Amino acid sequence: MTLDLTLQRADLLCAQNFINGEWTAAASGARLAVLNPADQSLIGQVPDSAAVDAQAAADAAAAALVGWRATPARQRAQVIKRWHALILAHQDDLGRLISREQGKPLAEGRGEVQYAASYVEWFAEEATRICGDVIAAPVSGRRMLAVKEPVGVVAVITPWNFPAAMIARKIAPALAAGCTVVAKPAEDTPLTALALVRLAQEAGLPAGVLNIVCASRAQTPAVVDAWLADARVRKISFTGSTPVGKHLAREAAATLKKLSLELGGNAPFIVFDDADLGAAVTGLMQAKFRNGGQTCVCPNRVFVQDAVYERFAALLSIQVAALKVGPATEADAQIGPMINARAVEKILRHVDDAVSRGARLLVGGRRVREASGPHFVAPTVLADATADMLLASEETFGPVAALFRFHDEAEVIAQTNDTPFGLAGYFYSENSSRIWRMADALETGIVGINEGAIASEAAPFGGVKESGYGREGSRHGLDDYMHIKYLCQGNLQ
């Protein structure tokens, strides 16, 4: 069956920046084409902005901060709740837009909208629960309090793999905390972000509270550098690659901005010989092949214990070989196109390198559906992966499951933690003592225990080591957009 990805509400396909409550072109008039990664067809055009546009957005956000931070929390929450309702009301259109510009199958596009909406709802609720401490004064004649305040203007920079969820889980807590926002969505997927901003406008967000500026990859440094240099921007919230995250951390040091950095991972997925193998295969299929393997918490290294190695490889191969690759217009597609040519080249380079170093190719390992477009890659299983292969140290970010063999727990812990990254880790075991030992031993910010789908608005999402710092979701996700002010009243009689 062929699906129609045309939007019911054509005005959700926005073509301008949104600055100070107005839809505006880049000052230069430059445009950036947005292409469907499946067939390279043109979906729309957005402004290709420069520093002057970024400055206008920061001016608007700085001016709006005074009023928004003074708006009572319940009133802020009501606007965010209306935004949530509008997102759900337009979930079909938003899902279609995600599938068109990002490529994921429509069911996943719709699923992402619901996932994004769950963060918006969560933070609307959390806005009304912001509270500090009344501290028992250690000396007489004093009252001591800790109150929470919004950090100020926040710059949000998002990646292409979850065009709605990444925007939602940064902007919703910022607004809930009383911050104002300047945002730059990924150059490959700005349209979903613009549609979400259109709905936020309809929800009644005051002018200047949320501003969005689009830019090509070439123009992005000019836009972001303007915000980095601007002392009024007090926080950067970024999801993307570790090199860009480190660059932002270095440059943000000049004005000591607060940072949330959700960066690359190299997630281990460990299958012990005491695991429920069926559950482990199901968990790996969910964690690895969702979004075509283009998620930051995707297992990148699958460690399987000797005794179950060949059986696990066989069970996994059957399921991977059955995955249907295709564009989002095909109702039964499970793996969409990769986002761009750069991504395809990296995935195939990882596979070729692994095979040249002795890996066994069990399934896939090549382009497919070339008549449909250049970015389709067959879901792949590689056995006998080893630490010297590129895919052991670099995030593949594609539908490739590389199986490493291990003998005992101590060995796999050492291998697992032998990476500068530490976002997510997963393991499967039915032994309760081992479960707690492993949960302690993994150097990651997130641990999936007998579970492959770990993301939730109620949970703190984020990494350790070079996967970054800061947390999104949960009550901690709101704290990242606030600072603590200590009030001390003395000389009380």
Instruction: List contacts with ligand NAD (CB under 6 A).
Output: 157-161, 184, 186-187, 217, 220-221, 224, 239-241, 244, 247, 262-264, 296, 395, 397
Q: Give the three-class secondary structure for 432.
A: helix
The active-site residue, picked from 262, 330, 457, 472, is 262
The active-site residue, picked from 14, 179, 214, 296, is 296
Residue that has been written with the tokens 């031993």 in this structure? 441
Q: Which residue number, 48 or 59, has a Cβ lying nearer to ligand NAD? A: 48
Nearest residue to ligand NAD by CB is 240
Q: Which residue number, 49 or 91, has a Cβ lying nearer to ligand NAD? A: 49
Least spacing, CB of residue 32 vs ligand NAD, in Å: 11
Of the CA atoms within 13 Å of residue 41, those in its CB half-sphere come to 8
- E-assigned strand segments in 58-186: 133-135, 143-150, 153-157, 180-184
What backbone phi and psi angles, to 5 degrees, belong to 382? -120, 130
Q: Give the three-class secondary structure for 480.
A: coil
The order of strands in the sheet holding 180-184 is: 22-24, 17-19, 210-212, 180-184, 153-157, 233-239, 258-262, 468-469
Q: Which residue number, 167 or 441, has a Cβ lying nearer to ligand NAD? A: 167
Q: Which residue number, 300 or 429, has a Cβ lying nearer to ligand NAD? A: 300
Can 262 be counted among the known catalytic residues?
A: yes
What percentage of the chain's residues is helix, strand, coil (to nearest 5)? 40, 25, 35
Q: Which residue number, 21 or 221, has a Cβ lying nearer to ligand NAD? A: 221
Helix (H) or strand (E) holding 408: none
Least spacing, CB of residue 302 vs ligand NAD, in Å: 17
Residue that has been written with the tokens 């499967």 in this structure? 428
**Is the Cα torsion angle 420, 424, 426, 432 positive or negative in sign?**
positive
Least spacing, CB of residue 358 vs ligand NAD, in Å: 25
Q: Which residue number, 264 or 292, has a Cβ lying nearer to ligand NAD? A: 264
User: What are the tokens at 355?
Assistant: 């095979």
Can 411 be counted among the known catalytic residues?
A: no
Q: Which residue number, 180 or 294, has a Cβ lying nearer to ligand NAD? A: 294
Q: Give the three-class secondary structure for 370.
A: coil
Q: What is the residue-wise DSSP string for 167-200?
A: HHHHHHHHHHHT-EEEEE--TT-HHHHHHHHHHH
Q: What is the residue-wise DSSP string for 298-328?
A: SEEEEEEEHHHHHHHHHHHHHHHHTPPB--T
Active site residues: 262, 296
